[in-house]
Chains A and B, each alone.
Chain A
Amino acid sequence: MDEKQLVAKAQKGDFDAFLLLVNDHKSKVYNLALKMTGSVQDAEDIVQDTLVKAIDKIDQFRGESAFGTWLYSIALNQTRALLANYKKADLKPIEEYLPSINSIDTEHNSIRLFDWRDPHKLLEQNELKDIIDDAIEALPLIYKEAFILRYYEELSIKKVADLIGESVASAKSRVLRARVALRDHLSKVFEDNYGRTMQ
């Protein structure tokens, strides 16, 4: 049975059809929420709230997007609502995260960027994972969601733009800024650890 048929059955009250529809997406929503919040408890709440909301709104789903994309948009709204109550420091201007872009813009040839070589040689795998999680968590929400949807969920830039309610150009800009901010964060860590391994 294809997705369209399952949706039609679910909209008529078939619970098993609804379960089949959400089964493939539950883990994805959980991972999305986990990356966005950095908290298992918050991620669990977001999965539950997303699926409950999907039941509430199942009759409003018109099939204009894939069912999974529709679920993501609900999950993103749930995540945004939850994170809105958290630290306001999340709103730090992105420019503060972009020393490398700024330095290339204005001081070309006067700086030399740290060459990463192989980060796996600098850090243990688990340490590396923790550092990456911290770097992602430190991103402002609007950049974090664009980056996660693009590179973890592997959605096209058009789908990312649709989900975050922005133009393709704006989605591209957010993804790039997130990527550069993460690069800068990781660069500092690798540079510190490179010094440590050379001692």
Chain B
Amino acid sequence: MAGQCSDYINNLNDYLDGEISPELCKELEKHIGQCNNCRIMVDSLKQTVSLCREGKKENLPKALENKLTNILKEKWNKKFPKQ
């Protein structure tokens, strides 16, 4: 690769997820070291995922949990009627 920013775009996600070949990784890191825009792009893309993951995981609402068991039991009994 000649080292143009656009050459690296399609590999950015694989790079950020640690899934590119060591050769391409080295080449990309060399480019990032020389190109401020690509460095900012990579840093912010990395932060995008970590920020999104900071959002809390919600528990299943208790009321839904109770309602579900009854609905599923009723549905189950229709599918597998007791002999």
**Chains A and B are bound partners:** yes
Asked whether, in the complex, the Cβ of B40 is within 8 Å of the Cβ of A48, the reply is no
Task: Enumerate chain A residues within 8 angstroms of B9, measured Cβ to Cβ.
Answer: 101, 104-105, 176
Of A63-71, A75-83, A85-93, A114-122, which binds chain B? Answer: A114-122
Contact with B along A31-43 (1 / 0, CB 8 A): 1001000001000
Indicate if the CB atoms of A27 and B57 lie closer than 8 Å: yes
Question: In the complex, which of the residues B59, B61, B76 contacts A44, with contact meaning CB atoms closer than 8 Å?
Answer: B61
Q: Which B residues have a C-beta under 8 Å from some C-beta of A?
A: 4-6, 9-10, 12-14, 16, 19, 36-38, 40-41, 43-45, 47-49, 51-61, 64-65, 67-69, 71-73, 75-76, 79-80
A-chain residues with CB within 8 Å of residue B10 when the two chains form the complex: 173, 176
Whether B52 and A182, one on each chain, are in contact in the complex, defined by CB atoms closer than 8 angstroms, is yes
Q: Are A47 and B60 in contact (CB under 8 A)?
A: yes
A-B CB proximity, top 3 nearest: A13-B80, A176-B13, A113-B40
- Complex A-B: 5 CB contacts under 8 Å: A18-B72, A31-B57, A151-B53, A176-B10, A176-B12
Q: A172 to chain B: which residues have CB within 8 Å?
A: 13-14
Q: Is the interface of A mostly helix, strand, loop or mixed?
A: helix
Residues of A within 8 A of B (CB): 13, 15, 18-19, 26-27, 30-31, 34, 40, 44, 47-48, 51-52, 55-56, 58, 100-101, 104-105, 108-109, 111-116, 119, 125, 128-129, 132-133, 136, 147, 151-152, 157, 172-173, 175-176, 179-180, 182-183, 186-187
Are the C-beta atoms of A116 and B60 separated by less than 8 Å? no
Number of A-B residue pairs having CB atoms within 8 Å of each other in the complex: 121
CA distance A124 to B76 in the complex (A): 47
The 8 Å CB contact of B40, one of A40, A56, A58, A115, is A115
Question: What would 9 more interface pairs be, CB under 8 Å, given A52-B71, A175-B13?
Answer: A13-B79, A19-B69, A48-B68, A56-B79, A101-B9, A104-B6, A115-B44, A132-B52, A182-B52
Contact check, B13 vs A112: say whether CB atoms are below 8 A apart: no
Chain B residue numbers with a CB within 8 Å of A133 are 55
Contact across chains for B73 and A15 when beta carbons are under 8 A apart? yes
Q: Once the chains bind, are A136 and B37 in contact (CB under 8 Å)? A: no
Contact B38 A104 (CB under 8 A): yes
Residues in A whose Cβ lies below 8 Å from that of B44: 113, 115-116, 183, 186-187
A133 to B58, alpha carbons, bound, how many Å? 13
Which listed residue, A18, A44, A115, A183, touches B48 by the CB 8 Å rule?
A183
A151–B64 Cα distance when bound, in Å, is: 26
How far in angstroms is the closest Cβ of chain A from B2? 12
Task: List residues of chain B with CB within 8 A of the CB of A173.
Answer: 10
Contact A104 to B41, CB < 8 A, known contacts A27-B60, A44-B61: yes
Nearest-neighbor residue (CB-CB) of A114 within chain B: B40
